[in-house]
Structure 1
Amino acid sequence: MKKIISLLLVVIVFGSCSEYQKALKNEDVGVKFEMSTKLYDAGNYSKAIRLFEQIAPAYRGKPQAEKLFYMYAQSYYKTKQYYLAAYQFESFVSGYPKSEKIEEAAFLGAKSFSMLSPIYSLDQTDTFKAIDKLQSFIDVYSSSAYLPEANKMLKDLNEKIEKKVFENAKGYNTILDYKSAIVSLDNFVADYPGTPFKEDALYYKLDSAYQLAINSIPSKMEERLNVAKMAYSNLIKFKVDTKYKKTADEMSARIEKDLQNFTK
């Protein structure tokens, strides 16, 4: 019985392949449309795409075009070809504004852009584009069932941008350019007041101010120690039980001790 089933599967597969090859070579776009739809419904998106590519120009403006271009966009999305999926979904939204699929297409188009967003350390052009697309979707479809997922993606993308900016600012501390670190970290906190990296930014501001102060010439030390003292205060005020508390407290003790030299 198992041999019979296996044989039938082989026949079906080869029959399907033969049918597909014939459709590829057939000049009748109707045959190609029927075969591409069958492949799409079966989840064979890569093969369906080859047929969609052949017949898409001929179907523009025809009654079946809406269905074809929706399947075409979905096939790119299902095969993780997100640049092409984003383009096709945007074209679908523009071309079929009254489609019952428009909300889904708008969401998947925006999501395709978000899937192109790279790790934070790389160029974030695609991330900014994804943020714009997701925000546009949220603005237009404010009661959409896709809203929770869209908001989550938007939050994650914004945090990725914030992480890149924070890491760049922190980098000055790493290379011992403490003046630039202080300015960059101050700017970061001012530009992103609700960032999840605020505690880290405040700590590295403290560390930068502290290192700059204790390594200063006497004429500049008092002023810089007071800047470091304020940085410590800002960190503790933001989070009294900060994960950096032990190190921060040690810095504070050194700052207070050194400041006493200027009160004598």
Structure 2
Amino acid sequence: MKKGILVLGLLMVTLSCSEYQKLLKNEETAPKYTAAEQLYNEGKEEDSNKKLRKALKLLEQIEPEYRGKPQGERIVFILADTYYQLGDYFNAPFQFDRFLQLYPKSQKAEEAGYKSASSYFYRSPKYNLDQTDTHKAIEELQVYLNTYPEGEFNEEANKMATELLVKLEKKDYEIAKQYHHTEYYKAAIASFNNFIADHPGSPFREAAYFYRFDSAYRLAINSFEVLMEERLNEAREFYKSYKKYYPEGEYTPQLEDALSEIDKSLQNF
């Protein structure tokens, strides 16, 4: 009985594939449009890449035939959205942008704008890689938010933009921190100064204040005597800056220990 069910299932799949192949070769566009719409809807509902890929082939075949016709708007949109649902975030924004150029007043224009922008978000790489797509995503998400200030997807777009900004901040922070860890203390101080100036609301801000101080402290205690006093005083100023903004900060114990050493060293001058 199980073998019979299995054979029947395989037969149905074979017939289904056979019918689909015939449909691809069929010169009539109407049945292809109907099948593509059904496969697209089922693929989205069932999260089935197989059905979405089948829909995509049909849509790519019939899209040129429906240009200028009433169905053209729907076909161009679901073609773009099929790329998006398949996770093809390189073709999706191109197709959504084409849809917006062809149908700027469409009821689907806002969704197309959001999905085009969010495609760049999904293309954004890890913080330690080139961030060209991250900058592009922030730019496109801001365009969406400016165009639709009360838009349906505003909450998601704002979350995405914030996440991307934090990623850029992390990249800058890690570069400065790498200078510190490799004992390029002058470069570290300069980088942390820039980071603090450029990212006033960053979650890495407290750590940046601490590592700027620590870089200055280590630079001072390893300096020639002629340079040491000035550098110790600079480190002391960085200590004050940290305490001003983070009086009970997480790095306070390390700062207090280092400050004691600074004060002892300054007594020699």
What is the TM-score when the length of structure 1 is the normalising length? 0.93
Partner of 2:191: 184
Q: Which residue of 2 aligns with 1:195?
A: 202
> What corresponds to 1:24 in structure 2?
24
Matches within 5 A, 1:1-264: 9-10=9-10, 12-43=12-43, 44-262=51-269
What is the one-letter code of the residue matched to 2:26? N
Distance in 1, matches of 2:239 and 2:72, equals 64
> Which residue identity does 1:140 align to in structure 2?
T
| RMSD of aligned alpha carbons | 1.7
Whole-angstrom CA distance in 1 between matches of 2:186 and 2:156: 41
More deviation, 242-251/182-191: 242-251
Q: Distance in 2 between matches of 1:91 and 1:185?
A: 43
CA gap of 1:4–1:64, structure 2 versus 1, over 3 A, is farther
Cα distance between partner residues in 1 of 2:128 and 2:3: 54
Q: Evaluate the alpha carbon distance shift between residue 68 and residue 135 of structure 1 in structure 2; reply closer, same or farther with a 3 A threshold.
A: same
Q: CA deviation at 1:241?
A: 2.1
State the distance in 2 between where 1:57 and 1:158 align: 40
Deviations 1:113-135 (A, max 9, x none): 10000010000000000000000
Distance (Å, rounded) in 2 between the aligned partners of 1:245 and 1:50: 62
Equivalent residue of 2:268, what SS?
helix
Counterpart Cα distance in 2 of 1:7 and 1:146: 47
| Structure 1: gaps of 5 or more residues | none
Aligned positions, number:
262
Structure 1 match to 2:48: none
- 1:246 deviation in Å? 1.6
* Secondary structure at the counterpart of residue 88 of structure 1: helix
Query: What SS is found at the alignment partner of 2:90?
Result: helix
Could you tell me which runs of 5 or more consecutive residues in structure 2 were left unpaired when the two chains were aligned.
Answer: 44-50
Identity between Structure 1 and Structure 2 (%) = 47
Task: Give the Å deviation of 1:217.
Answer: 1.0
Q: TM-score, normalised by structure 2?
A: 0.92
